[in-house]
Structure formats: C-alpha cells, structure tokens
Amino acid sequence: MNTPPINPLKEKKDRLRQQYKALRADIPAEERARRDAAICQSALALVSFRYADVVLLYAPMEEEIDVLPIAEAALQKGKKVAFPRCDPENKSMEYHFIQSLEDLSISTYGIREPAAHLPIYDQSAYSHGAVCFIPGLVYDRRGYRLGYGKGFYDRYLSAFHGCRIGVVYSDYIIPEVPKGRFDIRCDILLTEKNVRVPR
C-alpha cells in the first residue's frame, strides 16, 4: 500500500492551525466581544471603507471575529454589502449581495451564506471598488494569512482588485506564516489595537 508523500508546508500549516484554534477557543467570551467591538469601530473609520461602494464580508463561525456590525453599518450608509457563497465541488466562491442579515442562512460547512438566487458581485461594474474583510486564524507581519486550509479565499483574492483587509487579534500576528506560491497578502491588518499596513 502506497502512502502519500509528506508535504512539509501542509504539516507546518496544520500544526499552526491546531495551536491557534486552541488558543482562540480559550479566550473568554467577554474578552472576545470587547475585542470584536473595537475592531468593528476601527473598520468604520478606515478611509478605504468610507469611500468603497461595495463591502465584502464574512459570516463568522466558531470563535471567528464578529464583523456583522460592519455589515449593519454599511447597509445603513447605503453601501452594497455582499457575503460569500462557497461551491464545494470546485473549491470556489462568489459574493452575493444582501439587503439585510436575514438573507443569510446555514449552508455549506455550516456557515451562514446568501441564497444562490441573490445578485452576484461583479467588481467590473463598480468604479469606486470594494473592500474585502478577510478572516484568518493568524496573520504575519507581511499580511499573509493562515486560514482553514480549503483555499477559497486565496482563489478568490487572486483576481480581486479592491482593498484586502485582514481581520485579526493583535496577539495573533506572528513574524511569518508558512506560505505557498498561491497565498495572497492583505493590504491592511485590522486589529483591536490599531491598523497596520504590512511591509
């Protein structure tokens, strides 16, 4: 019986995932809520957010940072708001516009997603661009992220021309994450303490 070859990059990423999933699970709910609220407040002050026509967000799962208040604020400001819908067959995703958070329901991987019939975001139709808030388990100082290993965001972001904003707790930014040639950097790292521009 042939055993699959060892992938050192995958092994490094998997070890980091386990480590930071455990650390994140240990953060008290009250502390998470405080940090999340600070991140959302900082997001609304970003120039890139204020001038964007479209705001791309994610519906948080498990202990992910809750960015839904950003969606509510964007909708109140008259911005277009979209959330991703995943296609497990080809490991791709598309963003669909919503009118309210009630348009999200449990779907693939147990994540809240917009319905397939809702309009799809086409970035070529918006002259003032978009901002995309991106979840991650951990980021490094250069803006690279470690996600859950499915590759959805890296595939989507490879063709995205707007501002990529990594959402992360300040103590979850490490010197370097293991990365491959398809991993995409973020333009901004948004934490509960400050806004960083990766170098």
Tens of pLDDT along 173-197? 999 998 877 788 999 999 999 999 9
* pLDDT of 3: 59
Strands (E) in the chain, as ranges, are: 54-56, 80-87, 92-98, 104-106, 112-114, 130-134, 138-140, 145-146, 163-167, 173-174, 188-190, 195-196
The band of 5, judged by pLDDT with boundaries at 50, 70 and 90, is: low
Instruction: Inform me whether the pLDDT recorded for 130 exceeds 60.
Output: yes
Instruction: Inform me whether the pLDDT recorded for 7 exceeds 90.
Output: no
Tell me how far the alpha carbon of residue 155 is from its chain's centroid.
Answer: 13
Instruction: Inform me whether the pLDDT recorded for 96 exceeds 60.
Output: yes
Phi, psi angle pair for 99, to nearest 5°:
-100, -25
Q: What is the pTM of this model?
A: 0.91
Question: How far apart are the C-alpha atoms of 177 and 101, rounded to whole Å?
Answer: 33
